[in-house]
């Protein structure tokens, strides 16, 4: 039933839509800059993939929200199916978030070597903190399910 509550709050779809648009906006700015370096090409592709993965998460949550909007009770098999489909969306959003952080680190290389090194270091620290938080939250979720 937790899946249904999450769908009803629309949090994942809101954040995914916001991040998809933001990533696509950065990709468009890179295209407009007309830079022809390997860094700009990689960064462009990373922000484009990030945007598309956030769109996958957005589609899944919006579509499921629409499908379950008027339903009040769910059988165990239906809840299991919802959980499996949402796992695809969650995985897409998680991968997109990791790529977004890495792409920000790559973006700084477009400014030069010193900015690139500093940006990469900051992106690495951010990525490390997000990964640590993810594993801690996964452990909490596991404990909650065991209660």
- Predicted confidence at residue 140, as pLDDT, reads 93
The domain segmentation of the chain, as residue ranges, is 2-146
Integer Cα distance of 34 and 19 in angstroms = 23
How far from chain centre, in Å, is Cα 139?
20
Residue 110 DSSP label: G
Q: What is the DSSP string of 26-89?
A: HHHHHHHTT--SHHHHHHHHHHHHHHHHHHHHHHHHHHHHHHHTT-----HHHHHHHHHHHHHH
Q: What is the mean pLDDT of each run of 10 residues along the chain (147 residues)?
A: 58 76 80 78 89 91 84 84 89 93 90 92 95 93 86
pLDDT for res 3: 60
Element (H, E) at 6: helix 2-9
């Amino acid at each position: 039933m937790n899946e249904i509550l999450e769908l009803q709050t629309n949090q994942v779809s809101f954040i995914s839509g916001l991040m998809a648009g933001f990533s696509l906006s950065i990709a468009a700015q890179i295209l407009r800059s007309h830079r022809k370096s390997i860094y700009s090409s990689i960064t462009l592709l990373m922000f484009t993939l990030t945007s598309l993965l956030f769109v996958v998460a957005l589609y899944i949550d919006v579509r499921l929200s629409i499908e379950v909007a008027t339903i009040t009770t769910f059988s165990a098999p239906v809840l299991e199916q919802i959980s499996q489909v949402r796992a695809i969306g969650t995985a897409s959003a998680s991968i997109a978030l990791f790529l977004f952080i890495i792409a920000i680190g790559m973006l700084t290389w477009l400014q030069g070597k010193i900015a690139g090194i500093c940006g990469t270091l900051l992106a690495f620290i951010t990525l490390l903190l997000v990964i640590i938080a993810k594993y801690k939250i996964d452990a909490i979720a596991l404990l909650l399910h065991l209660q």
